[in-house]
Structure 1
């Protein structure tokens, strides 16, 4: 039966204290994000009774209602109509309703605000790269050859898909430049220009910089005979464009305050781009590239020194970090690792954590024998988790009942240790779930699939085993999600 999105929005609005209690509203992939004037007016039990709602909670002053991918957009559209609100961004809601945050929370918030809008482009690129990786893998489908070698007619298709896949990564600074400049209050189009400047074809490709530096053949700009700036691009890099976007936005804001309106269009954009571009290529880029290298090297060294401990902690704690929103930091780290080492060992563990949460929710489908609504929620949310969206499973099924969440954490940790000891890495960020094998280097795909089986079986079996104990105590009934 088709959902009545207007009625769902009305039910939520009534349960949170009415439209007079809502300051701003936005949504992310799965959740409504609400800035409320008085959170004491919220009837959380009633919020959870609304159709499609899988959970609700407050985090850093923002009230979040978990609905699920796709449906959340439709509910949001009706919600802002009923509440008489203008559409807002997640960043605006956080600024309006957020509590005072510590430096780490502020940093996480920045990364969240910057990367959330561009995640679809990154995931699609990773998925396409995974498909192409399979086509070009020797011995995977044809003994001693690739599919392209066996079927030459596939070459043109491979080239086309490869170009589509690489676009988001080659021009990643432009995507980040747009999103970051918007986040920092500057003009998005100038952020795009700055991002494109950092990957201009006249600059040495970032991936060839290491070899050129070893050979002492790095090209430079000679600035009036006074000093030189290396002609180096920043393809795939995150930190240089983040810093440049921050500087660009503040320069633009300053100029707009002090330059007369009559000449702003002429003076502000060109001055902003010239100053920021000069700083980005001469100072900001080299410094942040060095910082990125230090971060990537440090993480690699830690995992190489104590791989079991590192994998155990990451596999165990990734899901709780999703609850807090701190998981957004890892996308930047993954991209930095890929840029510096051509692969990331963190993302495969992320994918296994998502699969583990889905497996625990699927087990709860069997536990909820006589509750049709709970069975429906468990089945649909588990499928969502298997394809990388874990919030419905976590907030709607696993967290309210506790033991499925813990079971998933244990399964995730064991699987993470297994693939880390076998040096499984991903060459791109893809769909963080069952299709995740497409982003794994082909010589490690079978090992990753074994890791997937571990992440499926352990949470599933543990959840079923623990459910018998909790059913005896009556705690599942008490923790049911309406």
Structure 2
């Protein structure tokens, strides 16, 4: 029997056998199971398997960390042994959702909407970081590179256009993912999102000035004035509009004969949703979104240290529950409303802190398997992927996780009192510095040093002084 087949067999036994699997799939690094009874899982036996780097349950799914590349081979062997085929991620999520309470289901909906578009947003953030290097003053001197070398101006301008596209047409991305999640035709979601940022509408970023100057254009609809305002960079309007669109489409499909659906369903669904978006959904959710933005901005403007301390401390625990996905929507709302987010830089520091705690465990652990995992997972966390470090090492021994939270909170206080923001969401961990506004690179770098050093020192000292069983 091959090593991969033997590992798959051991994993299958540890999770309660094939009869305990309701649905299964895998992502880049993890096996994802919807299990009938998570109580049948033998975690100790599971995590003693050589290829397993950790396991955890979240959002109704039981996930086993294997690693990039190898996870494909293990899943193939496991599928053959258990006689199951790979379920779609949606099927596994739907099977897992039966185990969730209403709050968890709401969080799961947000995760299902935003995770599929995350690669586009992160890629845009990385490219914005490249543009940042070229155009931001204060990085290499009082002048930007483009100011020092004007021949690079058009090159930087093209990069900015490519990078900024995902944020300019963000409602189209959200519309595609949200309508698909709610059971409708995702292409109609794209059209709905593009409709909300149509160039004939007043740009949302110019709304404040137009309102102050009394220059907002209106449609007159049977005596009612409807503002011709776009929703660039806004999250809530397209989320609610996508839900309405999908439900109208599903409702009509059940009642209209197949031969007439092409001519009736999409036009009616899009037309009704379009009118509702500009008359009701847009204005209400735009006000709610601005209210949420004002609350966060108010906290971080008036109580910067407290806001940084709290978010820096709770972010890692939020990851355990899956609630961190809700803050991606807040980040995007902040970027759309204010031009930058002060929350995401804290996330990047939390990644570094978890990696440093795992790295410290490399020097104190005696178990060769977990020792090796500590080093590789630390490198992964420094590059923005924290699951192996957090679930495979830090939570296993608890005190490294707490030490990482302390380091993250201290670093977060430092960058928030210095008003560090990011104009886009990039890759967490060490590469995050490129996504920070140009004039704050030095301040953020000091925060990175704090997030790097404090967890290492605390974790190492605790292990040596308290001498836990390692």
Q: TM-score range by the shorter chain?
A: over 0.9
Q: Structure 2 vs 1, CA of residues 361 and 42 (structure 1 numbering), >3 Å: closer, same or farther?
A: same
Which 4+ stretches in 1 moved above 6 angstroms? none
Q: Structure 2 vs 1, CA of residues 449 and 144 (structure 1 numbering), >3 Å: closer, same or farther?
A: closer
Does residue 433 of the first structure (1) align with residue 429 of the second (2)? yes
Does residue 400 of the first structure (1) align with residue 399 of the second (2)? no
Deviations 1:343-371 (A, max 9, x none): 11111111111100001111111113x54
Distance in 1 separating the partners of 2:367 and 2:343: 38
Correspondence for 1:367:
364
Match of 2:340 among 343, 347, 351: 343
| 2:137–2:439 contact (8 Å) kept in structure 1 | no
- In the TM superposition, 1:284-363 aligns within 5 A as 284-363=281-360
Structure 1 residues without counterparts, runs of 5 or longer:
477-482
Distance in 1 separating the partners of 2:321 and 2:435: 26
> Larger deviation: 390-399 or 14-23?
14-23
CA RMSD of aligned residues (A): 2.1
Q: Structure 2 vs 1, CA of residues 75 and 131 (structure 1 numbering), >3 Å: closer, same or farther?
A: farther
- In the TM superposition, 1:84-103 aligns within 5 A as 84-99=83-98, 101-103=100-102
Q: Structure 2 vs 1, CA of residues 74 and 311 (structure 1 numbering), >3 Å: closer, same or farther?
A: farther
Deviations 1:126-162 (A, max 9, x none): 1110110121022422x44221122233223212211
Post-superposition offset of 1:96: 1.3
Aligned residues: 469
Does residue 197 of the first structure (1) align with residue 195 of the second (2)? yes
- TM-score normalised by structure 2 residue count: 0.94
Q: Secondary structure at the match of 1:117?
A: coil
Does residue 265 of the first structure (1) align with residue 262 of the second (2)? yes
Does residue 26 of the first structure (1) align with residue 25 of the second (2)? yes
Deviations 1:13-36 (A, max 9, x none): 332233332111234554322112
Match of 1:239 among 236, 241, 249: 236
Deviations 1:423-482 (A, max 9, x none): 1111111111111111211111101100000001000001110111343x4x21xxxxxx
Match of 1:420 among 412, 416, 420: 416
Q: Secondary structure at the match of 1:438?
A: helix
| 1:27–1:89 contact (8 Å) kept in structure 2 | no
Q: Structure 2 vs 1, CA of residues 454 and 144 (structure 1 numbering), >3 Å: closer, same or farther?
A: closer
| 2:136–2:437 contact (8 Å) kept in structure 1 | no
Structure 2 residues without counterparts, runs of 5 or longer:
none
Distance in 2 separating the partners of 1:72 and 1:179: 26
| 2:433–2:441 contact (8 Å) kept in structure 1 | yes
Q: Secondary structure at the match of 1:25?
A: strand
| 2:5–2:74 contact (8 Å) kept in structure 1 | yes
Distance in 2 separating the partners of 1:334 and 1:377: 31
Correspondence for 1:446:
442
Q: Structure 2 vs 1, CA of residues 248 and 84 (structure 1 numbering), >3 Å: closer, same or farther?
A: farther
Correspondence for 2:127:
128
Post-superposition offset of 1:380: 1.0
